[in-house]
Amino acid sequence: MFGTVPVTPKTLDSYRSIIGDARYEELQRLAEPLKGARVLHVNATAFGGGVAEILATLVPLMCDLGLKAEWQVIRGAEEFYNVTKAMHNSLQGMLLEWTPQMRDIWTRYNQMNADAFDEQYDFVVIHDPQPAGVLTLAEQRLGHRPPGKWVWRCHIDTTDAQPEVWDLLHPYVEAYDAAIFTMPEYVNQDLKSPRIFTVPPAIDPLSPKNVELTIQTANEILRRYGVDPDRPSILQVSRFDPWKDPLGVIDVYRALKPEFPELQLVLIASMAHDDPEGWAWYERTVRRAGEDYDIHILSNLNGVGNVEVNAFQTKAGVVIQKSVREGFGLVVSEALWKGRPVVAGNVGGIPLQILYGRTGYLVNTTAECVNRVHYLLKHPDVARRMGAIGREHVREHFLITRYLRDYLAIFNGLDNRLPEEALPLRATVPTGPR
């Protein structure tokens, strides 16, 4: 098989006080017919990015409910991750040269991983494009379809996918029993065979990144990294890549600095091994920051982990997510859960999370971003009120227990254990004006 990722055990009982008895009991009911079912989640990396964070909680919670769930990571090398990063960008609409060599590299590594697939599961969930070919290539090797229900979970927006890349991926995705997308708008319209579900991702309120910290602890962490907790700060937490626009965030900060001379900017990223492009954007971001000592560029490379991210989100005056393209952007829900207002790009799944004018603002340009952050820095009472509403919005719609519920419902439905009307067919989260 692939590389197994160890997970820390978790119990659903720990979440009961957060989600309430009714939702707790619903999860128990949905899990009952699935007890003993073998479930495998497969993705490309055990660290870095929202998918890995979700699986670190989703898998042990499935186990706590009686499913035999595992998480495994495919095997690859730098040439494969360079290709899959390009594939990721192309599926989100970036025009890149897609060569026969790139197709061969993607197919060859998928074949290598398909050859390693040698166990039987009741449900296999393949996450994103990197390992999407495993099902078809395993079937070709075995001479028959591997047992169980196979689900492709796509965390990105494929509606404007570059045709050459989608044409490669499409036949492999058609082989799945089901496909899960973040939003109905993300579903490529020529996808015919799989049953389509739309399920927004969610955060773990009890993870080190999201559990409540004391102000004293948060202040100590900020001081450790040279950030003054008594001065205002704005924050963006995201990978360094063109879609997150870290250079634009620096421009926002510089536009605000003359009126707010005490303002600090913190940019935090996780440098993942499957994201070689991130290193180039890290260097560009450092060059744009120059020698401004109030700009702090941090990552896991200098010890910034989940607890540290929690502290910076807890203390930020305003959290920014200046994405120009976005699959979902869980950092928005993370910040709202800490009671912080968010100013974010009006793209992807971000508008599902932000109630415009109530929990934050959606923006389309750098100038709009400057204007909205300026307003929130000037009106801290409004910022606090928005943050409080945002926390309850996340409790209702974007906690990991709701995500777990959707997976259990889908598994039951694929196994004909649940009526069609009970399945999560589309996102129903209310949004404000866009």
What are the Cα distances from residue 69, in Å, to 59, 123, 290? 6, 9, 47
373 and 406 co-located in one domain? no
Which residues have CB under 8 Å from 209's CB, separation 6+? 53, 203, 306, 307, 309, 310, 334
Domain annotation covers residue 434: no
224 and 358 co-located in one domain? yes
- The whole-number pLDDT of residue 417 equals 56
170 and 305 co-located in one domain? no
86 and 52 co-located in one domain? yes
Query: The domain spanning residue 183 has which CATH number?
Result: 3.40.50.2000
The rounded distance, in Å, linking the Cα atoms of 270 and 285 is 14
Q: Does the pLDDT value for residue 274 go beyond 90?
A: no
Domain annotation covers residue 418: yes
Domain annotation covers residue 429: no
- The answer to whether the CB of 105 falls within 8 A of the CB of 78 is no
In the chain, how many domains are there? 2
Mean pLDDT, all residues of the chain? 92
233 and 363 co-located in one domain? yes
371 and 405 co-located in one domain? no
176 and 272 co-located in one domain? no
Q: Residue 424's pLDDT band (boundaries 50, 70, 90)?
A: low
Which residues have CB under 8 Å from 282's CB, separation 6+? 240, 269, 271, 297, 299
Q: Residue 291's pLDDT band (boundaries 50, 70, 90)?
A: very high
- The answer to whether the CB of 413 falls within 8 A of the CB of 423 is yes
- The whole-number pLDDT of residue 434 equals 37
101 and 231 co-located in one domain? no
Domain annotation covers residue 207: no
Q: pTM of this prediction?
A: 0.87
- The whole-number pLDDT of residue 101 equals 97
- The whole-number pLDDT of residue 416 equals 67
Find tokens 């996808």 and name the residue. 191
235 and 193 co-located in one domain? no
Find tokens 């065979």 and name the residue. 193
Domain annotation covers residue 177: yes
387 and 406 co-located in one domain? no
Q: Residue 348's pLDDT band (boundaries 50, 70, 90)?
A: confident
Q: How many CA atoms lie within 13 A of 385 on its CB side?
A: 7
Domain range enclosing 87: 3-202+400-422
Domain annotation covers residue 88: yes
| Crossing angle (nearest 10°) for helices 306-315 and 215-224 | 110
pLDDT in tens, 58-88: 999 999 999 999 999 999 999 999 999 899 9
pLDDT in tens, 364-399: 999 999 999 999 999 999 999 999 999 999 999 999
- For residues 150-158, average pLDDT: 92
Q: Residue 423's pLDDT band (boundaries 50, 70, 90)?
A: low
Question: Which residues pair with residue 73 across a beta bridge?
Answer: 3, 43
pLDDT cut 90: percent of the chain above it? 80
- For residues 264-268, average pLDDT: 97
Q: Does the pLDDT value for residue 427 go beyond 50?
A: no
Domain annotation covers residue 313: yes
Domain annotation covers residue 256: yes
118 and 251 co-located in one domain? no
pLDDT in tens, 167-213: 999 999 999 999 999 999 899 888 999 999 999 999 999 999 999 99
Q: Does the pLDDT value for residue 426 go beyond 60?
A: no
Helices (H) and strands (E) in the chain, counts: 16, 13
Q: Residue 93's pLDDT band (boundaries 50, 70, 90)?
A: confident
Q: Does the pLDDT value for residue 432 go beyond 80?
A: no
Decide: helix, strand or coil at residue 115: helix
61 and 194 co-located in one domain? yes
Q: How far apart are the first and last CA of the chain?
A: 45
- For residues 1-10, average pLDDT: 90
Query: Which run of H or of E encompasses 297?
Result: strand 295-299
